[in-house]
Amino acid sequence: MAGMALSRHALKKRLDAVLKAVEGEGYDDALARIHKEQRRFPRSVYFMALERQIEQLREFKNANEPAVMQRKDILDSLPVLAQRALEHPEASPETLRVDSATINPPTEHDAALKWLLTQYLQNAYAHLVRGDYESALAEIQRMYILDPGNTQAHDLELRISKAREKTAG
């Protein structure tokens, strides 16, 4: 029991360090810290969500896009995601579907999972439109991690493959 409290305390400190890095726009540092947590909890939807949100912040910064509202929404979501990661670090897509009632109300987790999948799908499509097929496929792979049987991911993956072949040939 004391070991569990100690590890939870250590995880909280690590998550606080991620949030502090984001606050200072140290996105690469924040991502490196999240990647370390993902090695500990490879199927955690919360760490995947944190990773994607921080990546988007980094993309906004690098592109110098005036995405003020999107940036604010992301920054507002990070503490909530970090808290969920702290409370349920091993929450995978499977546990959210199978055992969601013991974690939180199912609708919250279902909505979070659906939102994340939608984000990945939108990002994949945006990459496809720009001709960045590798990034599009990376987004599809993220979808498969969360939902291996996702038909939208499969359909878009086929579309990306066809577009890739068309430009190569």
Q: Mind listing the pLDDT tens digit for each residue in 29-55?
A: 999 999 999 898 888 888 888 888 888
Asked if 21 and 85 sit in the same domain, the reply is yes
Q: Where in the sequence is the domain holding 61, given as residue range(s)?
A: 10-91
Residue 5: inside a domain: no
How confident is the model at residue 106, as a pLDDT? 53
Residue 20: inside a domain: yes
Residue 3: inside a domain: no
Residue 58 token pair:
């980094």
Residue 75: inside a domain: yes
Query: Are residues 22 and 55 in contact, defined by beta-carbon separation less than 8 angstroms?
Result: no
Kindly give, in sequence order, each residue whose CB lies less than 8 Å from that of residue 156, ignoring residues fewer than 6 positions away: 121, 124, 125, 128, 136, 140
pTM score of the predicted model: 0.58
Q: How far apart, in Å, are the Cα atoms of 27 and each of 1, 57, 73, 90, 93? A: 34, 7, 16, 23, 26
How much is the average pLDDT of 63-72?
67
In the chain, the number of structural domains is 2
C-alpha–C-alpha distance, residues 101 and 157, integer Å: 33
Asked if 162 and 114 sit in the same domain, the reply is yes
Least confident of 53-67, 91-105, 116-130, 147-161: 91-105
